[in-house]
Structure 1
Amino acid sequence: MKFSEYQQYDGLGLAKLVANKDVHPHELLLTALLRAAEVNPKLNAITIPMHDYAQQRSQLSLEGAFAGVPFLVKDLFQEIKGYPSTFGSQAYKRANYIAQTNSEIVNRWEKAGIVTFGRTNTPEFGIKGVTEPEAWGTCRNPWNINHNSGGSSGGSASAVAAGIVPLAGAGDGGGSIRIPASYCGLFGLKPSRGRTPWGPHLSEAMHGAAMQHVLTKSVQDSAAMLDATQGSETHSLFSIKAPEHSYLEIIQRPPKQLKIGYSTKSPIGTKVSADAEAAILHTAKLLESLGHLVVEAEPAIDGMNLAKDFITTWFSQFAYTLQESRNHLNARDEDFELDSLALAAFGEKTTALQYIHNLNNWGHYASQMNLFFEQYDLYLIPSTASTAPKNGEVKTPVWQKQLLKGLLKIRQAHRLAEGKLIEKIVKENLKWVPFTQLANITGLPAMSVPLYWNKNQLPLGSQFVAPFGREDRLLQLAHQLEQTQPWMQKYNDIKL
């Protein structure tokens, strides 16, 4: 199969060709490998090849919605037994860490028939909104390789947008599906708390704020893969009611008239680009043309307080992750990035009382969103504050790095996160991506829909947040928007 034909299909489309015996999975794999060989040196999306594994799977009698479809997994909590997993970190890379078991999410993807041939680039432990790990290097954006693909699922997003695969594994703990979806012009859905599994190594991640799913070119691929993976397992701490009908079936019906509240204001008072505002206004007009009611409104939530609570949880959880990695690998500080060491230093000084106070605030934010959804069916906000930043643009200033090095040596780096400086740290960390943490903290499903490209042909997603458990509402609307303003043909514009 020629790439020009391959790129016209989404995952379900390719699976249909396989089912009809129009093409063999091995032929699809060969096309994907050839495309990867052509463009990955420019993008650096795939970091760990698994060609032998894929060759073997492509010869099996595969079943499922995506039987025979080439696939990539993120190099973060999506382990495959017998193959390296680095979490984007030099520490794991140097230790040549090999996974001993499959992650449950991988088991469910494989039951759906996918053929995995590699792992994708991610920032160290997924802690950043850009993918520039020291372990693997920068992951570039197919729309313009001078720009970043976003994070933390940046490698997956870059590979899908470039046409290497029609869908790829992703995860979202603070926007890590929706951010790269926005930057790379893809569809990205973060499921509700508890919708997809974390076993066998974890029962949940960050109190259910982090969820795993996929990045896709089409809405129906996301719906079908959620059908294949949704539901708890023996290790799950959270359980969620299954939909009455499959998501793939649900999206065939148009949504009812929806009342949608929207905002373009940054919840932390940082700058929002003209592109982000234009994207939301464009989407609002599109929604109105479809008969939906769109009203400027926002929930009664102090965005800065929510951001501080998110950062407190994020840093504290990461301090634990880094310490576990040190113990597991017998690693030294030199094995980790300076920014990672600094975040862990901030987090490890959080007291138990501070942490519980912060966690209790999560319930308040969820309550306010529940009240908001008594009046509105969905909440529309930008996915990101701007189009993708240039490579190297989002980084710790040199002066701050020197200061951090000195403070880390004397175990005083946490001082930077005290008093009024914490607000500065929050804004510095989240100014590019201030809109996504709301859905993680509250456990609500949210999606980024690619409906806007600026004059330089850089995309920026429109984000919708729904009531808990209402992925059906999101997917229905996304499918309607996709039919009204199709975006699949846009990927033909990418020249690499």
Structure 2
Amino acid sequence: MAAPFQVPRPDIKFAESLANLPKNLNIAYTTESPVGTPVSEEAKEAVLNAVQVLKAAGFNVEPADAPIDGIALMRSYYVMNAGETATLFANMHLSDQTIKENVEPLTWALAVTGRSITAVQYSQALSTWDSIESDMDEFQQAFDLYLTPTTAHQAPRVDQQLVSDENMAKLIHITDYSPQDQLQLIWDQWLPALTLSPFTQLANISGQPAISLPTYVGKNGLPLGIQFIARKGREDLLLQIGKFFEDTGQFKLKQLS
């Protein structure tokens, strides 16, 4: 199995290849959240607008969802995150009180939750990532690019509460809960943020290169992007598709007053 994270091929000269976008690309697209959460109509419209641009240019574009269990992906990420946060603080040799008083409640909750993560759970998370990597590699044998929204919704207001008061209290008192309930709380408190942005984690975990393009501005003046994911080592193709959208006047940039 190929390594999950690779550097681009040394024979590819990005600057020289920018104008060499292949004409026979097969592109898959989706507007469905991989974790089953709602996707705004404007995020869907951003993707569908891009689909029309691609079809008009002669590319083969068709709807297809990546064969990935997005919930399993994110749960494995939370297990990994908790375990690594616990390891980070264990290596600092600080007291619990010192840690709790100097980090955010979520960081404290992750550190406590991670102490109960077993070697089996950690290894299972790694196996999940290996499976995702393999499944995406197979999926993209048929598709050169995979198009999704970058985010499912526009950016929230800076004062929008993404963790409920109830869950915040639970994070602070995370030691009162069983290991299973701790992991569920990590999921519950992250779900509002995951609802806003459920698409970008796939490339992070599968090790594929991805690019976000600013092609849409909503009625309220806030931007929404589209994301392309390519096969490993095909950063050149992402830069080429980005140049195509820029050259065809599809970048929508609007400064907020």
**TM-score category of the 2 structures, normalised to the smaller one:** 0.7 to 0.9
The Cα offsets for residues 260-301 of structure 1, whole Å up to 9 and x where unpaired, read as 111111111111111111111111111112221110001222
The equivalent residue for 1:285 is 52
Within the candidate set 110, 125, 141, 1:374 is matched to: 141
1:245 Cα deviation (Å)? 3.1
1:314 Cα deviation (Å)? 2.1
Within the candidate set 204, 209, 221, 1:445 is matched to: 209
The equivalent residue for 2:237 is 473
Q: How does 1:402-417 map to 2 (within 5 A)?
A: 402-408=169-175, 412=177, 414-417=179-182
Taking structure 2 as the reference length, the TM-score comes to 0.88
Taking the aligned partners of 1:359 and 1:259, their CA distance within structure 2 comes to: 30
Note if 1:344 corresponds to 2:108. Answer: no
**8 A Cα contact 2:209 2:235, kept in partner:** yes
Taking a change above 3 Å as real, the CA distance of residues 478 and 325 of structure 1, as seen in their structure-2 partners, is farther
The Cα offsets for residues 104-157 of structure 1, whole Å up to 9 and x where unpaired, read as xxxxxxxxxxxxxxxxxxxxxxxxxxxxxxxxxxxxxxxxxxxxxxxxxxxxxx
Higher helix share: 2
Report the AA paired with residue 430 of structure 1.
Answer: L
Note if 1:354 corresponds to 2:121. Answer: yes
The equivalent residue for 2:131 is 364
1:343 Cα deviation (Å)? 2.0
Q: Residue 385 of structure 1 aligns to a residue in which SS? A: coil
1:313 Cα deviation (Å)? 1.5
Report the AA paired with residue 382 of structure 1.
Answer: P
Q: Residue 224 of structure 2 aligns to a residue in which SS? A: coil
Taking the aligned partners of 1:486 and 1:262, their CA distance within structure 2 comes to: 18
Taking the aligned partners of 1:467 and 1:377, their CA distance within structure 2 comes to: 7
Taking structure 1 as the reference length, the TM-score comes to 0.47
Q: How does 1:52-71 map to 2 (within 5 A)?
A: none
Note if 1:270 corresponds to 2:37. Answer: yes
Q: Residue 448 of structure 1 aligns to a residue in which SS? A: strand
1:318 Cα deviation (Å)? 2.4
Within the candidate set 181, 187, 191, 1:427 is matched to: 191
Taking the aligned partners of 1:323 and 1:369, their CA distance within structure 2 comes to: 35
Note if 1:335 corresponds to 2:102. Answer: yes
1:429 Cα deviation (Å)? 4.7
The equivalent residue for 2:80 is 313
Taking the aligned partners of 2:129 and 2:170, their CA distance within structure 1 comes to: 33
**8 A Cα contact 1:262 1:296, kept in partner:** yes
Report the AA paired with residue 487 of structure 1.
Answer: F
Taking the aligned partners of 1:477 and 1:406, their CA distance within structure 2 comes to: 48
The Cα offsets for residues 389-437 of structure 1, whole Å up to 9 and x where unpaired, read as 11122432112222332344x5x4745335x666645634511111111
Report the AA paired with residue 466 of structure 1.
Answer: A
Structural RMSD (CA):
2.5
Report the AA paired with residue 21 of structure 2.
Answer: P
1:241 Cα deviation (Å)? 5.0
1:334 Cα deviation (Å)? 0.7
The Cα offsets for residues 163-200 of structure 1, whole Å up to 9 and x where unpaired, read as xxxxxxxxxxxxxxxxxxxxxxxxxxxxx9655xxxxx
**8 A Cα contact 2:40 2:153, kept in partner:** yes
Taking a change above 3 Å as real, the CA distance of residues 255 and 348 of structure 1, as seen in their structure-2 partners, is farther
Taking the aligned partners of 1:361 and 1:307, their CA distance within structure 2 comes to: 10
* Percent of residue pairs bearing the same amino acid type: 34
Q: Residue 304 of structure 1 aligns to a residue in which SS? A: helix
Within the candidate set 13, 22, 26, 1:259 is matched to: 26
**8 A Cα contact 1:266 1:434, kept in partner:** yes
The unaligned stretches of length 5 or more in structure 2 are none
Note if 1:383 corresponds to 2:150. Answer: yes
The unaligned stretches of length 5 or more in structure 1 are 1-191, 196-239
Taking a change above 3 Å as real, the CA distance of residues 430 and 365 of structure 1, as seen in their structure-2 partners, is same
The Cα offsets for residues 437-469 of structure 1, whole Å up to 9 and x where unpaired, read as 111111100111110001111101101111111
Report the AA paired with residue 111 of structure 2.
Answer: A
Q: Residue 461 of structure 1 aligns to a residue in which SS? A: strand
1:342 Cα deviation (Å)? 1.1
Taking the aligned partners of 1:467 and 1:274, their CA distance within structure 2 comes to: 28
Q: Residue 44 of structure 2 aligns to a residue in which SS? A: helix
Q: Residue 266 of structure 1 aligns to a residue in which SS? A: coil
**8 A Cα contact 2:109 2:171, kept in partner:** yes
Report the AA paired with residue 359 of structure 1.
Answer: L
**8 A Cα contact 1:276 1:386, kept in partner:** yes
Aligned residues: 253
The Cα offsets for residues 361-381 of structure 1, whole Å up to 9 and x where unpaired, read as 111111111111121111111
Q: How does 1:9-20 map to 2 (within 5 A)?
A: none
**8 A Cα contact 1:308 1:426, kept in partner:** no
The equivalent residue for 1:482 is 246
**8 A Cα contact 2:24 2:59, kept in partner:** yes
1:358 Cα deviation (Å)? 1.2
**8 A Cα contact 2:162 2:193, kept in partner:** no
1:325 Cα deviation (Å)? 5.1
